[in-house]
Amino acid sequence: MGILRAIAGFLTGRRSKWAVVLIGLVVAGVFGPLGGKQDITTDPTAFLPSSAQSTQVVHLQGRFESGQSNPAIAVYASSSPLTDQAKSKIEADRAEFAKVAAHGVVPPVEYSADDKAAIVVVPLRAGLPEATFKSEVAHLRTVAQSGLPPGVRAEVGGPAGFVVDLSNAFSGINSKLLFATILVVALVLIITYRSPWLWLVPLLVIGIADQAASAIVYLLASHAGLVVNGESAGILRVLVFGAGTDYALLLIARYREELRENEDRHDAMRKALLGALPAILASAATVTVSLLVLGLVSTLNNNRSLGFVGAIGILVALLFTVFLLPSVLLLFGRRLFWPFVPKVGEADPTRTGFWSRTGERVARAPRLIAIGCVVFLAILASGMFSLHTGLSQNQQFRTQVPSAKAQTLIAEHFPAGSSAPVYVVANADKSPEVLDAVRAEPGVASVTETGRSGGLVQFTATLKAAPDSGASYATITALRERVAALPGSGALVGGSVATDLDTNNAARHDTKVVIPSVLAVVLVVLILLLRALLGPVILILTVLASYFASLGATSFAFFHLFNFAGVDATLPLLGFLFLVAFGVDYNIFLISRARQEATVEGTRPGILTAIAVTGGVITSAGIVLAATFLVLGVLPILLLTELGILVAFGILLDTLLVRSILVPALVYDVDHWFWWPGKLFREPVRPDAAASEAVAVSAGD
């Protein structure tokens, strides 16, 4: 505690605050130029563990003369048989495509059985810089769609087209998300503080934190091998602004309280910082450790990426809110709160406001209210029966992208799997047996040998089913079982469909491992904070109830209101992570204050006081965080849209119902047993002893 007092004294000192602000400006100057940079990968295999078959196939392909390639597929289609003019155009395009193809070789044009369509597979070089790769695909699309005969359509898709469309979906992520997030946070802060300029201070500090976090992630991605994709980069910004604003709201609310009791603003800020710091630190520790568990335990590298990137964001938001914000606030004095300037001796409006009356209502029938809340949450959770996970590549976008259009045309005239070749790599001396096994698989439309090198042989197969469908995944699984049964073949099955299957399998594994790990970690944090066992278990159960209710309600909405095709396999895990972490976050804000009050007033009066003084600020914090997650919807990626809706709904449900009604009702009902077996359980403070206890606490300070 002595260290915290020393730090608080330095941050709130009359002279030292200027040094803190100067350090903040220096940090902003150093990290500012790097904050807008991104080092994002869109390679799907980059997020799989090295043990995945699809990853191994990619590495083995480097031994072949053709090397690793990422095929783009140009498809031409007409409502009637292709004319000689159309076929001449296609052959001319094929010659032009060879200029950017790997080794300058493009396989012959393949025409459909009805002669109404043709596809040209263009093997592009893998491992190119993102800008070069996007330029090559853009060139293919320009060539294919230029000078088309009347009635002929052309699209370029395939794995390369999908990767470029995904990259384009994240283009402008910095400007789009930054503008939308700042707008949302500013609006909520203006409404919360009802001041023309107070909102600018926390927004400025959090903006610097955002740039610093982005710069750190960029440096780690560039020099330490941290894998970052568009999803983790987008969520980083949401976490920094959301969590940073939460911590700022809690600190400023406590500062406003202290200004009503202390004439000197420096003393008020020092006491506010010491009072709010335990809850802020516990809250940040809960979210950070949960994210680190995701990063350390997950097998899926994009989950690992999100875990480490998110933890960096939370820690940076914490550091800037705790170390820089108090000093900056002190520069402006009480007038910063104009026109509602807090004055010494005036009554605290939160003690008799809306949330105080809410607590009084809860106290009249706590058990009945708790039962009603649980029944309501159970009804919402029943919507989980609508949940089914799994999205094809085309379904991952909310808009119709060129690769999806190409897939539609291919499926109309060719085996649906033509847009996503499957690669089988095996020992060359077993090639006849492997070839026969692949041909014998009912889901395979065709297979050809496409290369030999270093004792290995590669076969390229076309599936009958559409990519990323249940049928295509079943075929990949069956194919792997067939070739694995051949002694000495060493056969592995890869390609984009296999990559997505491996990704889904890894996501399911991570869900089973990460969820209990996060619950265990969060429970330990709560036990250490509250110095009790029963209370933390109750809080964990309420957060779980909130998560299942949120997942059920939004699942029903996704399929019956928004008509989404499905949900990404990683959504339940990511939703769990953020809803549990931030749900516990807000309960920490409430219960840590309740514990402080319980040492003076007793448990039941303490929880009522806590809900009265924290209700407004926690609700504002929840609204800010929910709104920032909804900002993810500005990007046309279905996973981010669904994640934003799920987390936003869950946070609002947790903030407005679980934390404000259910938790107070449960605490009020169990009374001092909530702190079992801690000191507050063994030596509960009774309301009639409140006055003497308050004197003792004051003397201790």
Sheet with 444-453: strands ordered across = 444-453, 456-463, 422-427, 492-495
**In contact, 50 and 444? CB cutoff 8 Å:** no
pLDDT given for residue 695 in this prediction:
37
Rounded average pLDDT over 556-584: 85
Whether 404 has a pLDDT exceeding 80, the answer reads yes
| pTM of the full structure | 0.80
pLDDT given for residue 482 in this prediction:
92
pLDDT given for residue 436 in this prediction:
92
Determine the Cα–Cα distance for residues 658 and 665; give it in Å rounded to an integer: 10
Determine the Cα–Cα distance for residues 389 and 570; give it in Å rounded to an integer: 9
Closest alpha carbon to 500 in 467, 532, 464, 463: 467
Rounded average pLDDT over 295-310: 86
pLDDT given for residue 174 in this prediction:
61
**Alpha carbon of 24 to those of 35, 236, 660: distances in Å?**
15, 21, 36
Close Cβ partners of 365 (under 8 Å, ≥ 6 residues apart): none
The per-residue pLDDT for range 64-100, each reduced to its tens digit, is 766 566 788 999 999 999 999 999 999 999 999 998 8
The half-sphere exposure of 132 on its side-chain side, counting CA atoms within 13 A, is 8
pLDDT given for residue 526 in this prediction:
86
pLDDT given for residue 693 in this prediction:
42
Closest alpha carbon to 211 in 244, 170, 183: 244
Rounded average pLDDT over 446-475: 87
Q: Give long-range contacts, CB 8 A cutoff, 24+ apart: 79-85.
A: 79/116, 79/151, 80/116, 80/151, 81/114, 81/115, 81/116, 82/111, 82/115, 82/116, 82/117, 82/118, 82/152, 83/149, 85/149
Q: How confident is the model at residue 173 (pLDDT cuts 50, 70, 90)?
A: low
Whether 699 has a pLDDT exceeding 60, the answer reads no
Determine the Cα–Cα distance for residues 288 and 213; give it in Å rounded to an integer: 14
The structure tokens listed for 556 are: 């029903």
Distance of CA 583 to the CA centre of its chain: 15
pLDDT given for residue 74 in this prediction:
94
**In contact, 577 and 518? CB cutoff 8 Å:** yes
**In contact, 412 and 117? CB cutoff 8 Å:** yes
- Domain ranges, ordered by start, for the chain: 1-35+172-346, 68-169, 348-382+531-670, 402-501
**Most confident among 103-112, 297-306, 345-354, 438-447 (mean pLDDT):** 438-447
Rounded average pLDDT over 517-534: 88
pLDDT given for residue 700 in this prediction:
42
* CATH number attached to the domain at 68-169: 3.30.70.360
Domains 68-169 and 402-501 share a fold: yes
H-type helices in 62-199, by residue range?
84-97, 130-145, 158-169, 173-193
Write the class of the CATH domain 348-382+531-670.
Answer: mainly alpha
Determine the Cα–Cα distance for residues 280 and 315; give it in Å rounded to an integer: 11
Whether 468 has a pLDDT exceeding 60, the answer reads yes
CATH of 1-35+172-346, one of 1.10.150.530, 3.40.1710.10, 1.20.1640.10, 2.40.70.10: 1.20.1640.10
Whether 698 has a pLDDT exceeding 50, the answer reads no
Whether 486 has a pLDDT exceeding 50, the answer reads yes
The per-residue pLDDT for range 339-374, each reduced to its tens digit, is 877 888 776 666 667 888 888 899 999 999 999 999
Determine the Cα–Cα distance for residues 178 and 506; give it in Å rounded to an integer: 32
| Per CATH, domain 402-501 is 3.30.70.330 | yes
Mean pLDDT computed over every residue of the chain? 84
Whether 413 has a pLDDT exceeding 80, the answer reads yes
Residue 275, H or E segment: helix 265-297
**In contact, 259 and 252? CB cutoff 8 Å:** no
- The distance in angstroms from the start CA to the end CA of the chain is 11
Angle between helices 173-193 and 230-259 (to 10 degrees): 20
Determine the Cα–Cα distance for residues 256 and 350; give it in Å rounded to an integer: 11
Lowest mean pLDDT among 102-106, 439-443, 446-450, 650-654: 102-106
Q: Which amino acid is at 255?
A: Y
Rounded average pLDDT over 112-133: 85
Q: How confident is the model at residue 425 (pLDDT cuts 50, 70, 90)?
A: very high
The structure tokens listed for 362 are: 């809860």
Buried b (16+ CB within 10 A) or exposed e, 239-275: bbbbbbbbbbbbbbbbbbbbbeebeebbebbbbbbbb
Q: 29 versus 434: which is more confidently predicted?
A: 434
Q: Strand 444-453 vs strand 117-125: parallel, antiparallel, or unpaired?
A: unpaired
Close Cβ partners of 338 (under 8 Å, ≥ 6 residues apart): 195, 196, 197
